A and B are shown apart, each in its own frame.
Chain A
Amino acid sequence: MLKNELDKDKLLGTLNHNRIYVFLVIVIILMSIGAPGFMRSSNVIPLMKTSLLPILVGIGFTFVMIGGNFDLSVGAMINVGALMVMGEFNRFYAIFGGEPAGAAAVFGAWTVAFLIALAAGSFFGLINGLLVAKGKVHSFIVTIGMLTTLSGFVYTYSKGNTISANSYALVDIIEKPLLKLPYIEFFTMRSLITIAVLVIFEILLVKTSWGRGLFMVGSNKEAAWQAGIDMERKIIWTFVISGFTAALGGILFATSMNAAVPNYGERGINPLMLVLASTIIGGTVMTGGRGSVVKTAVAVITIQAIFNGLIGMGLGFDSQVLSAGVLLGAVVLYEAYVLYKESLRKGERPALLPEAEKLKVNHRGSKSKVSGEQSPEAAQGA
C-alpha cells in the first residue's frame, strides 16, 4: 500500500513538473472550441510572433529566479535595448555616410548599434548583479531602483519621442518569411534568432556544470559553498544574462517594427507581469533552485494563446489584463500553498511513519515510557 502511495506521489510530481504542457494542450482545446478559427494559420502566426519578445525576456528572468533573486527591471531593459539600437543606428548611419554610402553603411551601422545596445543591457545587468552579489542588497530593491533610473534614462535619451530608423533595409531581412507556406511562414530571421538563443541558454542551464551549479546555488547556498562554487560570480552572471536577453528582445522587437517608443508596456499589458506569470506557471520555484527556460517559453505561448482566444471570443482588451492578473495570482497562491504544506512536513520521514504508529507515541511527555518499552527489546536483540 505504501509503495502505491509513493508511486502516486511520484506520478503527481512528474505531472506537476510538466504541468505547463498539459496547460497548453487544455488551453488550445478550449480556445479551439470557444473561438472558431483559433488554429488557423493567420491566427497562430501573429500569436507566436507576439510571444517572441516575452520568450527572450523570460530566459534571463528564469536564470535570475533560479539563482534565488528577482529582476524587476526587465521592462525598462527592453526599452533601453529598443531605443538605443534605433538611436545609435541613426547616429552611426549618418557617420558612415548615410544613403549615398549604400549597403556598407547600413550593415556597419546596424552592427555597431546592435553591439552598443546589447552592451548597454549587459552593463546595467552587471550593475544589478554587482549590487546584489557584492553589495548584499536585496535584489528586489536594487532592480526596482534600476527600473526607475532606466525609465528616466529612456525618456531622457529619446526626449519622450518615438525613434524610428532612417533605413528600412533590415526590416525586410528580419521579418521576411523563409518559406511562404501556411504555419511555416512563422520562421523568419527574428524567430530563428529567438529559438537559437533559447536553445543555447537551455543547453547552458541543463547540460553544463555551470548550469548545474546555478541550480545548487538557488536551492541550497550552504551546499553550494561546500561544493566550492563561486556563488557571487554566478549571481552576477545571471543578472548580466537577464540584461542581455531583455535588451536583445527589445532590439529585435524594435527592428521588426523599425521604431521604438519609450513607454512600451506602460498602458497595455505590463511585460513584467507577463514574464513573471509565465516563469512561475512554467514551474520555476519562487525561492529558486528549480526551473527551465523552455518551460517558461511554453508558458509564454500558453498565456498568449489565452489572450488571443479571449479576443477571438469577443471579450475585449480589458479582459486580457484581468485574466493575466488572476492567472498570476492563482498560480502564486497554489505554489505558496504547496510550499506551506511542505514546510509543515519538514523533517518527516515517510518510511518511518508506520513504525511510529506501532509505537503509539503519546505526544505529551511520555518519552520515558517509550524508551522504557524499547529497552527490553534492545536487550533481547543483543
Chain B
Amino acid sequence: MSNTKQDIRKTSHNSFTLIVNKFGVFFMILVLSVVGVLVSPSFLSSTNLLNILNAVSYLGIVAAGIAFVIFCGQYGDLSAPMTMATTGVICVEFMRYGLWYGIIAAVIAGAVIGMINGFVIGKLRVNAIIWTLAMNFILEGLVRWSYKGTQIYPDMATEKTYTTGFFLPIMAKLDPNIMDIDLVSRAAAFNGLATTYPLGVPLVLYVMFGVMITGYIIMSKTTFGNQLKVVGSSYEVGKMSGINATRTVMMAFMMSSIFASIAGVFMTSLNQVGAFYIGQGYDFQAVTAIILGGMSLSGGRGSMIGVFGGVFTLGLISNILTLLGIGTFTQKMITGAIFITVVAVNAKSLRKLGRDYA
C-alpha cells in the first residue's frame, strides 16, 4: 500500500506521547486513586490498600510469568488456568510427605508443562494461542479423568482416596503405610500457606513481590532478557544473530508455567481443595494486566514494572466498583470493555508512532 499512499508515519517522536506510552498506567493509577478517594473516605486507609494488593497477588504471580511469553513475541499462555489447577492437585498429592515435597513436585510439574509448550511452539512454530488452548483442554481432561470428576481435599484420607488421582495409587502401592501418615497436621500446614501473615502482611504478597523482582532482574538485567527482547522483536533477526530462538521461547514458556504453578499452589491452599476449576479466568485477567501495563503484544516492548502497574490497576478498578456497590458480573463486563478500549487505543497510538501493530 505504501506505493500508492503517502507514508504518514512520523519519524521523530513526540516526547509527550512517549511518556504517556511508557507511564500511562501509572497516570491511570493516579486518576483511579483520586476517584477512589472521592467515592469513599476509607479508600486510602492502609487496610484497604493491603486488601487491594492481597486480592491481586495471585494474579500478579501469574501475570509475571505470562509477561515473559508476551515479551518474547508469543501472544499469551492460555494454559495458565489448568496449569494452576494441575499443579495444585499434584501439590496436594505430594504434601503427604511434607509441605516442601508438595511445592517442589508442583514446580517440577509446571516446568514440564512449560517445556512441552515451549518445545511445540518454539520448534514447530505453532500458533501459541491454539496450542496453549489445546494444552489447557488436555490438562483439564487429564485432571477430570484421573479424578473421575471428584475433588481432592488435603485432609481427606479414606480408602477411596488412594484409588483415584495422578500419583496417589502409585504411592499407595509403593508404600502401604501411607495411610498412617499424620495427615491432619500436614493438611493444616498446607492450608495455612494462604492464611499466614508474617508481620501483618499475607505471605502470598511477599511471594508476589519476590516473583516480580526476580522477573524484573531476569527480563531487564540479564543476557537472557536481552535475548528474549531480540527474539520478541523479530524471531528471524534473533535466529540470524546467533540466538538459539527455540531455547529462548522454551525458557519463556517454562517461566510462565513455573510462576503459574506457584500461584496454583497458593490458590489451592486458599480454596483448601484441589479441583479442575481452580484458576479459571486468570489467563484473560493476566493478559489484560500485561497489556494495561504497556507491554506490546508484538513483543519486545515493556517491563515488569508496567506489569505490576497493570495488576494494581485491575485491583483498583475492582475495589472502586465494589465500593460503588456494583456486582461481580457487571464488573466483569466493565473490565472487558476497558480492556478492549485500552487495546484499541494502544494499537492506534503505536501506529501513530510508526510502529508495527498489535
Most buried by B among A225, A273, A287: A273
Q: Is B301 an interface residue (CB 8 A)?
A: no
Q: Is A13 an interface residue (CB 8 A)?
A: no
Contact call A155/B138, Cβ cutoff below 8 A: no
The interface residues of chain B lying within 8 Å CB-to-CB of A280 are 130
Are A146 and B340 also in contact (CB < 8 A) when A138-B297, A325-B141 are? yes
Nearest residue (CB) in B for A269 is B137
Q: Is A326 an interface residue (CB 8 A)?
A: yes
- Complex-state Cα separation, A148 to B286, whole angstroms: 13
Q: Is B239 an interface residue (CB 8 A)?
A: no
User: Shortest distance in angstroms between B171's beta carbon and chain A's nearest beta carbon?
Assistant: 21
Q: Is A170 an interface residue (CB 8 A)?
A: no
Contact call A142/B120, Cβ cutoff below 8 A: no
Q: Is B140 an interface residue (CB 8 A)?
A: yes
User: Shortest distance in angstroms between B75's beta carbon and chain A's nearest beta carbon?
Assistant: 6
- Complex-state Cα separation, A34 to B149, whole angstroms: 24
Contact call B138/A326, Cβ cutoff below 8 A: yes
- Complex-state Cα separation, A337 to B124, whole angstroms: 6
Interface residues in A213-229 by Cβ distance below 8 A to B read 225
The interface residues of chain B lying within 8 Å CB-to-CB of A160 are 329
Contact call B125/A336, Cβ cutoff below 8 A: yes
- Residue of A135, A146, A318 near B148 (CB, 8 A) is A318
Are A329 and B343 also in contact (CB < 8 A) when A147-B284, A286-B130, A336-B131 are? no
Contact call B330/A152, Cβ cutoff below 8 A: yes
- Complex-state Cα separation, A329 to B137, whole angstroms: 8
Contact call B134/A322, Cβ cutoff below 8 A: no
Contact call A152/B344, Cβ cutoff below 8 A: no
User: Shortest distance in angstroms between A321's beta carbon and chain B's nearest beta carbon?
Assistant: 4
User: Shortest distance in angstroms between A217's beta carbon and chain B's nearest beta carbon?
Assistant: 14
Interface residues in B233-284 by Cβ distance below 8 A to A read 277, 281, 284
- Complex-state Cα separation, A144 to B81, whole angstroms: 15
Nearest residue (CB) in A for B339 is A145
Contact call B337/A149, Cβ cutoff below 8 A: yes
Q: Is B332 an interface residue (CB 8 A)?
A: yes
Q: Is A37 an interface residue (CB 8 A)?
A: no
Q: Is A328 an interface residue (CB 8 A)?
A: yes
Contact call B340/A332, Cβ cutoff below 8 A: no
Contact call B145/A321, Cβ cutoff below 8 A: yes
Q: Mark A100-135, 1 if CB is under 8 A from B, else 0.
A: 000000000000000000000000000000010001
The interface residues of chain B lying within 8 Å CB-to-CB of A317 are 149
- Complex-state Cα separation, A140 to B141, whole angstroms: 23
Contact call B343/A137, Cβ cutoff below 8 A: yes
- Complex-state Cα separation, A326 to B135, whole angstroms: 9
Q: Mark B325-338, 1 if CB is under 8 A from A, else 0.
A: 00101111111110
Q: Is B357 an interface residue (CB 8 A)?
A: yes
- Complex-state Cα separation, A273 to B340, whole angstroms: 23
Nearest residue (CB) in B for A321 is B141
Q: Is A10 an interface residue (CB 8 A)?
A: no
User: Shortest distance in angstroms between B39's beta carbon and chain A's nearest beta carbon?
Assistant: 21
Most buried by B among A131, A145, A150, A273: A145
Contact call A131/B137, Cβ cutoff below 8 A: no
Contact call B141/A323, Cβ cutoff below 8 A: yes
Nearest residue (CB) in B for A140 is B129
The interface residues of chain A lying within 8 Å CB-to-CB of B135 are 329
Q: Mark A333-358, 1 if CB is under 8 A from B, else 0.
A: 10011011001000000000000000
- Complex-state Cα separation, A273 to B141, whole angstroms: 12
Are A325 and B137 also in contact (CB < 8 A) when A137-B344, A137-B358 are? yes
- Residue of A150, A152, A321 near B140 (CB, 8 A) is A321
- Complex-state Cα separation, A140 to B336, whole angstroms: 14
Contact call A137/B329, Cβ cutoff below 8 A: no
- Complex-state Cα separation, A187 to B343, whole angstroms: 45
User: Shortest distance in angstroms between B50's beta carbon and chain A's nearest beta carbon?
Assistant: 27
Contact call A144/B287, Cβ cutoff below 8 A: yes
Are A141 and B149 also in contact (CB < 8 A) when A149-B337, A152-B336, A324-B137 are? no
Interface residues in B76-120 by Cβ distance below 8 A to A read 76, 120
- Residue of B133, B142, B331, B339 near A322 (CB, 8 A) is B142
Q: Is A253 an interface residue (CB 8 A)?
A: no
Q: Is A64 an interface residue (CB 8 A)?
A: no
Interface residues in B314-358 by Cβ distance below 8 A to A read 327, 329-337, 339-340, 343-344, 347-348, 351, 357-358
Contact call B330/A318, Cβ cutoff below 8 A: no
- Complex-state Cα separation, A276 to B281, whole angstroms: 19
Contact call B124/A340, Cβ cutoff below 8 A: yes
Most buried by A among B76, B127, B287, B358: B127
Interface of B with A (CB < 8 Å)? Answer: 1, 75-76, 120, 123-127, 129-131, 133-135, 137-142, 144-145, 147-149, 277, 281, 284, 287-288, 291, 297, 327, 329-337, 339-340, 343-344, 347-348, 351, 357-358
In the complex, besides A148-B332, A286-B130, A339-B125, 9 extra interface pairs with C-beta distance below 8 angstroms are: A144-B287, A149-B332, A318-B144, A318-B147, A318-B148, A321-B140, A321-B145, A324-B141, A336-B125
A selection of 12 A-B contacts at a CB cut-off of 8 Å is A136-B347, A137-B347, A141-B291, A142-B343, A148-B335, A153-B333, A287-B127, A316-B149, A318-B144, A322-B144, A332-B126, A339-B124
Interface of A with B (CB < 8 Å)? Answer: 70, 131, 135-138, 140-142, 144-153, 155-156, 160, 225, 267, 270, 272-273, 276, 280, 286-287, 316-319, 321-326, 328-329, 332-333, 336-337, 339-340, 343
